[in-house]
Amino acid sequence: MARPTRALAAALLAVTAGVATAVSAAPPALATHGSTGGGGLVDTTAHPGAVRAQITFVKRPAHPWDSRIRWRAWRQRMDGSWKLVRHDAWRAGSGLPGGSATNACVKNHGWLPDGRYSLRQYDDYDGSLIHGRAFRLSDKRCGNGTLREQLFIHTEAGPGNTQCANTPGDQICRWEFPKINDYTSHGCIKMSPADILSLTRDYHRYFRAGVVYPLARVSLLVRTR
């Protein structure tokens, strides 16, 4: 009886070793994208630490000059999920009074068409009418095909982000709200100097001035509430 027992034990040992070898040689299962809470898995296609961001302009038809700019930034985790790491919101306006403020096809008067825009950020834009902190936006066609150009997110300031002297009348180099409704614009997006400074600081956490990044990294989304 001893010999059969030793033979059986040897056979069982060989089978067990073979199974163990096969298991250890098998490739690991591919990880899937985790939830926003993170699942502890590793996504081999992820770029941990990568950042993407979006500025959203939410237009309010009842209050074009009391609309909202929102900032959201996400950082990618090892499992491929994206964690919200920064968010802010401010008042903003677009369009001119006179009946066409909410018509995105009226050039130099109506607010911006809905859609996604690329952008280039300036710390001190030197234009004929626009100075100081600003974001230059890509051109966009509205619903009837009209091309909207020369679009910005900006404020009212002088060169070097200064505020000029307070003199009578509406001055493009000074923020005079609420005495004057400076949230109106020729189709651009207008913010107060303090608020566009906050937006710029958020932007500079992850992105540089003067660079047009791919839409997948950072963009402006315009939508109607």
> Per-residue confidence of the chain (225 residues) as pLDDT tens digits?
444 444 444 443 443 444 333 333 333 332 233 344 555 689 999 999 999 999 999 999 999 999 999 999 999 999 999 999 999 999 999 999 999 999 999 999 999 999 999 999 999 999 999 999 999 999 999 999 999 999 999 999 999 999 999 999 999 999 999 999 999 999 999 999 999 999 999 999 999 999 999 999 999 999 999
| Domain residue extents for the chain | 51-224
Strands 140-141 and 147-148: antiparallel
Q: What is the pLDDT of residue 67?
A: 98
The alpha helices in the chain, defined as continuous H runs, are: 2-25, 193-204
Tokens of 157: 């300031």
Q: What is the pLDDT of residue 41?
A: 87
Q: What is the pLDDT of residue 40?
A: 64
Provide the residue count of the chain.
225
Q: What is the pLDDT of residue 163?
A: 97
In three-state secondary structure terms, 219 is strand
* CA proximity to 110, closest of 146, 71, 66: 146
99 and 88 Cβ atoms separated by less than 8 Å: no
- Count of Cβ atoms closer than 10 Å to residue 20 Cβ: 10
Q: How many Å from the N-terminal Cα to the C-terminal Cα in the chain?
A: 86
Q: What is the pLDDT of residue 81?
A: 97
Supply the Cα-derived Rg of the chain in whole angstroms: 28
Instruction: Please name the helix (run of DSSP H) or strand (run of DSSP E) that holds residue 53, with its range, or none.
Output: strand 51-59
